[in-house]
Structure 1
Amino acid sequence: MSDLPTLELSVSGMTCANCAGRVERALKKLPAVEQASVNLASHRAQVTLRSAAPAALLIAAIERAGYQASLGQNPDDQCRAAGHERLAVVLALLLALPLLAPMLLQPMGVHWMLPAWLQCLLAGAVQFGIGARFYRAAWRALRTLDGNMDLLVVLGTSAGYGLSVYLWLSSPAAPMHLYFESSSTVIALVLLGKWLEGRARRQAGQALRALENLQSDTALRQVGERLETVAVQALRPDDVLLVKPGARFACDGIVLEGRSHADEALISGEPLPVAKQPGDRVTGGAINGEGQLRVRVTALGPQSTLARIIRLVESAQGAKAPIQLLVDRVSRVFVPLVLVIALLTLLGWLLGGAPVQTAIIHAVAVLVIACPCALGLATPAAVLAGTGAAARHGILIKDSTTLQRAEAVDCVVFDKTGTLTLGRPRLLHQAASNGDEQTLLRLAAALQQGSEHPLALALLERCGDLPALHDSRALAGRGIAGTVEGQPLQLGNRRLLEDLHLSADAISLAWEAEGCTVSWLVAMQPQAHVLGVLAFADEARPQARAAVALLQADGVVCHLLTGDNLGSARQIATAVAIHQVHAQVLPAGKAQVIETLRRTQVVAMVGDGINDAPALAAADLGLAMASGTDVAMQAAGITLMRSDPRLVAAALDICRRTQAKIRQNLFWAFIYNLLGIPLAAAGWLSPVLAGTAMALSSVSVVLNALWLTRWRPGFSSRGQP
């Protein structure tokens, strides 16, 4: 499924959960569509295709269902639409206010009312002019034999307006109370609620728009001694760019020349500038500091870090949380159920001897308060706000299912190298069997040519020119093999030594006991024999101990899982206060350890390397460091954009808070309807109060979700928690 092509469409005209469901069903009827998910909060549809299909085909299906769609929405169009919506709200409120004024003034002893003809005129302008959008949407719902919020609004307000016209025309000379203020005020309040929802959605989506705005349009490319300004689309890998102080990096790259600092706050959430020097990676969208840099392009377009972040955030905000599926099923039967309740209310009051106008008004109140807007917004609004807040602080959540899994995590398993440690081990000791340590280093480094492994980098930085390497191959979980200067060699760990039926000498055992990672260089001819031993040591990240403390304070059990030797693992575990240690575990064995822990706990795995991918996939929740490999990030549900293990606790925290907001929102959405409908049916709520309650329910749900945008990690990035 994940390999199938996907399209994202912007959908307009949706007003409630039933609308989103209708768009989904229209898309799923197309033979080319494998899956469709429509997000009411972001007004976006994610479509997975089982076969190639033009976007026009999908857009046509949505338009047949009565909505508008496009591949992307221009920000100017969004601003223009928001402006039109705001103008409609202001006009509706201004026209409804004179109708509502007598009701507001009556408790103060002021008895005043507009002439009936003027009430009819003002209410008609709101009902059929500003409110025409509700009639269009209701007609689309009726054509497909489906119900939505607009149908309820139209039925309720039209009944109130029609009743008022009937009463006025049947007794034009007799003074009486008309209900024009109810129909016009309800429409004005519904429009106000929708405008506030839209404003809140735009606010919740600011994180994604801020990321999109980081993308540069042009770059300064160096060709020989000449500089030229080119469009980013014209760049190619290995191009050399000149990045001036204060300019944005146009794409991902590696610094060739110069020293500076980069502001990566919007990308990684790191508030402090990050030092950059030759050999360091830079990320497109970050801002160069005080120095001029020459940068070699390494990734462009969809392969860039920024594009990957945007895709992850969009995917998380567009995906449907598992609990939303239940809400969708409830919403689908909700409108028909409300229509039945409204009809029963009307008949009940009539059979009870109430006047026709009283029965109609109570039925109208039921229709108005029952709009399921809040129900449809409860989950997507919280997901939109939560994932956006997480992204601003360097935590990328892949989908809404991840939010649900993260909430239950009670065990976190850390990889060691590059996750809890700096991942930059140093060569501390070396011993050659023949005493020639320079040759030992030269042969071992030659075997590691081209490798990105931290131990290889530590070895290569100690050596200059190296002999050629032939027939190089990896030995899974053991080391590397190859031929150097005609001699077959292998370099690896204790497992390699045992496979070759060789034993470790006293000095290597002593280095292991000190917590060093030990590698043996073995010559394979005339028979396998040890040429020498190398000892490396890595140090724990400064934030690692605080990260473990944060998790343990939340009742989460921490484990250390590594392929390294037991001495090295215990040294780091002691430094960061982890008591559960699993050492000398092969990549496949890591997944087995995770599976064993999952029998009794909900397990999260934190890693950064290719060898961590099986364990990340096997865990209930995988968290990958963005400083690691793409394979690790693809296997993980959450990507941490900074190499700060404290973000693990922060990621679990924002997931729990988002899930809590979803539950709160659903509670309030159901309470409004469960309490409001009986009160309206019993005659204790007028249509105006019902309309106010309905608008407030939607607004309260969105505002409750927006509290998540204020979230901050529970630690200072400058120090300890």
Structure 2
Amino acid sequence: MVANPALLAATHEDDARSSLELPIEGMSCASCVGRIEQAIGKLPGVEDVSVNLATERARIAFASGQVVPEAVVNAVRDAGYTPVFGSVDLLIDGMTCASCVGRVERALTAVPGVVEASVNLATESAQVKTVGAITPETLIAAAEKAGYGARIRPDSIQGTEPEETRRSATARREQAHVVAAALLSFPLILPMLLAPFGTTIMLPGWAQLLLATPIQFWLGARFYRAGWKALRARTGNMDLLVALGTSAAYGLSLYQLLAAPAHPTHYYFEASAVVITLVLLGKWLEGRAKRQTGAAIRALMALRPERARLVSSPGKERDVPVEAVQIGDIVRVRPGERVPVDGRLVQGETAVDESMVTGESMPVAKAEGDQLTGGSINGDGSVLVETTAVGAETVLARIVRLVESAQGAKAPIQRLVDRVSAVSVPVVLAIAMLTLVGWLLAGASVEAAILNAVAVMVIACPCALGLATPTAIMAGTGVAARAGVLIKDAEALETAHRIKTVVFDKTGTLTQGKPSLVAAAGVEGIAEQELLERAAALQTGSEHPLARAVLAAGENVGIAVPRARSIRALPGRGVSATVGDESLLLGSGRLMKEEDIDTGSLRARAEKLEGDGRTISWIAEIEPRRRLLGLLAFGDEVKPGAITAVGALHERGIRTVMLTGDNQGSAAAAAAILGIDEVVANVLPEGKAEAVTRLARTNAPVAMVGDGINDAPALAAADIGIAMATGTDVALHAAGITLMRGDPRLVTDAIDISRRTYAKIRQGLFWAFIYNVVGIPLAALGLLSPVIAGGAMALSSVSVVTNALLLRRWRPTASERNVQ
């Protein structure tokens, strides 16, 4: 999958001079231009730099070979701006262990213009960030030169079927190889199995050779091919260890057979054959387990119907492939069918099961004008839906891409593991050589020395180290997706388990976000209906939740709304307008104070209402005379799961903060009901990010939970942003975690999933290291035969992956309660 392939352009003006064009975000004025030009201009080799504020691009000319794009990117970042990258997603074939991961990453990052390459062993994929005119073919060629196959990853739902078919074919081939190896090696190991029962049999040496040779050079050919590629790249991997170890055992046996054919002795063909069989079995089981970790994505993909019922004209319908449906087309969805596209319900009523998309187990009622999500199941109503999104732009496709991205990303802890794994093979080979020499110096036979060295090479398991983290992340993100929690990347997953403070926006996050007018009080001489008429006039055309509440209240009592002129929104404060011959204000206490309006006559009433958790808006007249007219009190019901969510966070030792634009009185009352630890009130929209940053200085890491466009800067300012999917796309893009339904308890679920996932990562890494730390010395001391060592090596990978898979059986608290 290629994203933004033409974001940057690099050209070679001549042999001695090159140029690079880099898009940059965050510039707002000429001083930004100067700052960036100065930062890039300091780099050695830069001859000229020109930044264009209008196009938000920087053009850099430099001496060829003097400047790498990564240095330019870092300079822009250090100056406080955001460089824009291109991205390419590749599928990588032929990786077998963590050392392969490092080799592919080094090959990709060596390509000029590659800023970062993240290779994932579990998903067999690479995510590459690029600057410059880099084509996918260039990256594929780099991977192939390193000895691995590579191809562009197909785009989400549309291109996955061929890939699944290929993987299924590979799995069947591996299974056939395991069966063939087992059948051929069983006669070789039979004498060992019968020996404890007093039965002694020995196959002739030539028969052992005939059985072992196909295993060694046909079924084991993959180890030779991959090991040779590693040697050509001047590095090592698991395949090289297996190839060297089994070749040593096979070669020793062949030498004994050829050197003394007339004097039968004990051969070691069974060691090489059984080791290869066990490793093949381990790789097959490992692959099977890895495919299970991707079950969440496959389940999401399966939600997309293959066909849709297109309404071409009234009374005329035809069955078409879902790819043929265009935005604006009308489709009919019958009872029990899956909704084929994202769309707006234009005829009929129904209830829709959105559980596989949002985790909400109860059907959601839908009426005309409501949005339907592709992949959800229609209830008992036959409805017409106008298509609003198709293909890659549907909610389902975006969810799949997000989960794929998270599963393919590399956690920070994995980078340390990869560095350790990169040196593991040379270290193991050195230990094997020392073992061989040591036993020979100690007077052991050549056979014993070689077999002990073989055991050392065979038991080493760098593949287990490489699988511990990515398989746990795949399982964890899969559990999260089923629970209605979408995790953007591995870094967000890593941060979530360390969260110490959760900051909630109040409206729409802890409350329903649908306030209603619960009280209105005018000053002496102003009737309630008169007050409501003025308020409704001021709020005409506004989409603010409080405005909708005022208009709904006016409609309920049947008032005639006067016409307002010169309506002006005052962000974070209120609204002003002219109604008749009066200039009016409606807004917060802050606005009244700024306009020098005395609210003392209704202060006692306001304080009582605020004590009950109500939000107060004041109405005042500016002209012809400056005076207070009255107040409106709004109530917004607390979400059913909000109190439970706050309590659950406290149980986990996490501090809670509520961030709101409401006044201190009503905010404190709401916080008392919810059990919130701290309230930050009277915060303007533009001040939310600053408030989060301030909290992070003393209570980091901090998570910010919000759902609206005003929350987006605060979400970005937090260590991790958590967005409700009921909010805007802006908020979702700024968030590291997205909750697919407006249930605050999912915040706890997200943290629990992160904690469980990292517990599995720690367990996997522990066992992977233990296998090596304990197994290699035992093998070097001659306490493990090559057969036992091979079994232990195969078991290490399988056990690490299986342990990660156990996470799939666990269900987070809110999800479990939702099902019940």
Counterparts of 1:498-577 in structure 2 under 5 Å? 498-504=593-599, 505-506=601-602, 507-522=605-620, 525-526=623-624, 530=628, 532-577=630-675
Is 1:153 the equivalent of 2:235?
Answer: no
Indicate conservation of the 8 Å contact 1:320/1:380, yes or no: yes
Query: In structure 1, what is the equivalent of residue 813 of structure 2?
Result: 714
Query: In structure 2, what is the equivalent of residue 660 of structure 1?
Result: 759
Query: In structure 2, what is the equivalent of residue 253 of structure 1?
Result: 343
Q: Secondary structure of the residue that 2:813 maps to in structure 1?
A: coil
Is there any run of 5+ residues in structure 2 with no aligned partner, and where? 1-81, 155-161
Q: Secondary structure of the residue that 2:132 maps to in structure 1?
A: coil
Indicate conservation of the 8 Å contact 1:595/1:619, yes or no: yes
Partners of 1:120 and 1:471 in 2: how far apart? 96
Q: Deviations for 1:263-302, whole angstroms, at most 9, x for unmatched residues?
A: 1111111122222223433222111111122334344444
2:262 corresponds to which of 173, 182, 192: 173
Counterparts of 1:288-367 in structure 2 under 5 Å? 288-367=378-457
Counterparts of 1:169-318 in structure 2 under 5 Å? 169-222=258-311, 225=314, 226-318=316-408
Indicate conservation of the 8 Å contact 1:543/1:720, yes or no: no
Rate the CA distance shift 1:719–1:43 in 2: closer, same or farther, 3 A.
Answer: closer
Report deviation, 1:2. 7.8
Query: In structure 1, what is the equivalent of residue 25 of structure 2?
Result: none
Q: Deviations for 1:414-461, whole angstroms, at most 9, x for unmatched residues?
A: 221111111111122234667466665455445545544322332343
Partners of 1:527 and 1:224 in 2: how far apart? 61
Report deviation, 1:247. 1.9
1:459 corresponds to which of 528, 550, 553: 550
Q: Which runs of 4+ in 1 moved over 6 A?
A: 464-471, 483-488
Report deviation, 1:584. 1.6
Query: In structure 1, what is the equivalent of residue 190 of structure 2?
Result: 101
Q: Secondary structure of the residue that 2:256 maps to in structure 1?
A: helix
Partners of 2:620 and 2:339 in 1: how far apart? 45
Indicate conservation of the 8 Å contact 1:152/1:371, yes or no: no
Residue type at the aligned position of 2:194:
L
Rate the CA distance shift 1:720–1:379 in 2: closer, same or farther, 3 A.
Answer: closer
Q: Secondary structure of the residue that 1:551 maps to in structure 2?
A: helix
Query: In structure 2, what is the equivalent of residue 598 of structure 1?
Result: 696
Q: Secondary structure of the residue that 1:555 maps to in structure 2?
A: coil
Query: In structure 2, what is the equivalent of residue 21 of structure 1?
Result: 102
Indicate conservation of the 8 Å contact 1:270/1:717, yes or no: no
Report deviation, 1:720. 11
Rate the CA distance shift 1:254–1:531 in 2: closer, same or farther, 3 A.
Answer: farther
Query: In structure 1, what is the equivalent of residue 117 of structure 2?
Result: 36
Residue type at the aligned position of 1:672:
Y
Query: In structure 2, what is the equivalent of residue 420 of structure 1?
Result: 510
Is 1:120 the equivalent of 2:219?
Answer: no
Q: Secondary structure of the residue that 1:597 maps to in structure 2?
A: helix
Report deviation, 1:472. 5.6
Is 1:493 the equivalent of 2:553?
Answer: no
Partners of 1:471 and 1:39 in 2: how far apart? 58
Indicate conservation of the 8 Å contact 1:522/1:532, yes or no: yes
Residue type at the aligned position of 2:739:
L
Query: In structure 2, what is the equivalent of residue 687 of structure 1?
Result: 786
Partners of 1:690 and 1:650 in 2: how far apart? 41
Is 1:646 the equivalent of 2:741?
Answer: no
Deviates more, 1:247-256 or 1:633-642: 247-256
Deviates more, 1:432-441 or 1:1-10: 432-441
Rate the CA distance shift 1:169–1:550 in 2: closer, same or farther, 3 A.
Answer: same
Rate the CA distance shift 1:354–1:261 in 2: closer, same or farther, 3 A.
Answer: same
Partners of 2:641 and 2:469 in 1: how far apart? 34
Rate the CA distance shift 1:340–1:472 in 2: closer, same or farther, 3 A.
Answer: farther
Report deviation, 1:369. 0.7
Report deviation, 1:489. 5.2
Q: Which has the higher contact order (CA 8 A, sep 6+)?
A: 1
Partners of 2:564 and 2:320 in 1: how far apart? 40
Rate the CA distance shift 1:358–1:108 in 2: closer, same or farther, 3 A.
Answer: same
Report deviation, 1:63. 1.7
Deviates more, 1:439-448 or 1:192-201: 439-448
Q: Secondary structure of the residue that 1:8 maps to in structure 2?
A: strand
Deviates more, 1:6-15 or 1:321-330: 6-15
Report deviation, 1:509. 4.7
Rate the CA distance shift 1:2–1:636 in 2: closer, same or farther, 3 A.
Answer: farther
Rate the CA distance shift 1:720–1:351 in 2: closer, same or farther, 3 A.
Answer: closer
Query: In structure 2, what is the equivalent of residue 619 of structure 1?
Result: 718
Counterparts of 1:125-144 in structure 2 under 5 Å? 125-144=214-233
Is there any run of 5+ residues in structure 1 with no aligned partner, and where? none
Report deviation, 1:481. 4.6
Report deviation, 1:521. 4.1
Rate the CA distance shift 1:332–1:474 in 2: closer, same or farther, 3 A.
Answer: farther
Report deviation, 1:7. 2.1
Indicate conservation of the 8 Å contact 1:539/1:572, yes or no: no
Indicate conservation of the 8 Å contact 1:23/1:65, yes or no: yes
Report deviation, 1:558. 1.9
Rate the CA distance shift 1:454–1:513 in 2: closer, same or farther, 3 A.
Answer: same
Is 1:392 the equivalent of 2:490?
Answer: no
Indicate conservation of the 8 Å contact 1:566/1:584, yes or no: yes
Report deviation, 1:566. 2.6
Rate the CA distance shift 1:719–1:22 in 2: closer, same or farther, 3 A.
Answer: closer
Residue type at the aligned position of 1:425:
P
Indicate conservation of the 8 Å contact 1:160/1:361, yes or no: yes
Identity %: 56
Indicate conservation of the 8 Å contact 1:398/1:638, yes or no: yes
Partners of 1:716 and 1:211 in 2: how far apart? 17
Counterparts of 1:580-599 in structure 2 under 5 Å? 580-599=678-697
Q: Secondary structure of the residue that 1:70 maps to in structure 2?
A: strand
Partners of 1:31 and 1:529 in 2: how far apart? 69
Rate the CA distance shift 1:689–1:319 in 2: closer, same or farther, 3 A.
Answer: same
CA RMSD of aligned residues (A): 2.5
Partners of 1:116 and 1:45 in 2: how far apart? 47
Q: Deviations for 1:172-217, whole angstroms, at most 9, x for unmatched residues?
A: 1112111101111111111111111111111010101111222334
Rate the CA distance shift 1:258–1:579 in 2: closer, same or farther, 3 A.
Answer: same
Q: Number of residue pairs matched?
A: 721
2:730 corresponds to which of 609, 617, 631: 631
Q: Secondary structure of the residue that 1:684 maps to in structure 2?
A: coil
Q: Secondary structure of the residue that 1:628 maps to in structure 2?
A: coil
Partners of 2:110 and 2:623 in 1: how far apart? 67
Residue type at the aligned position of 1:57:
T
Report deviation, 1:592. 3.4
Indicate conservation of the 8 Å contact 2:516/2:549, yes or no: yes
Indicate conservation of the 8 Å contact 2:461/2:771, yes or no: no
Q: TM-score, normalised by structure 1?
A: 0.94
Query: In structure 2, what is the equivalent of residue 77 of structure 1?
Result: 166
Residue type at the aligned position of 2:128:
V
Residue type at the aligned position of 1:604:
A
Query: In structure 2, what is the equivalent of residue 8 of structure 1?
Result: 89
Q: Secondary structure of the residue that 1:599 maps to in structure 2?
A: helix
Indicate conservation of the 8 Å contact 2:293/2:475, yes or no: yes
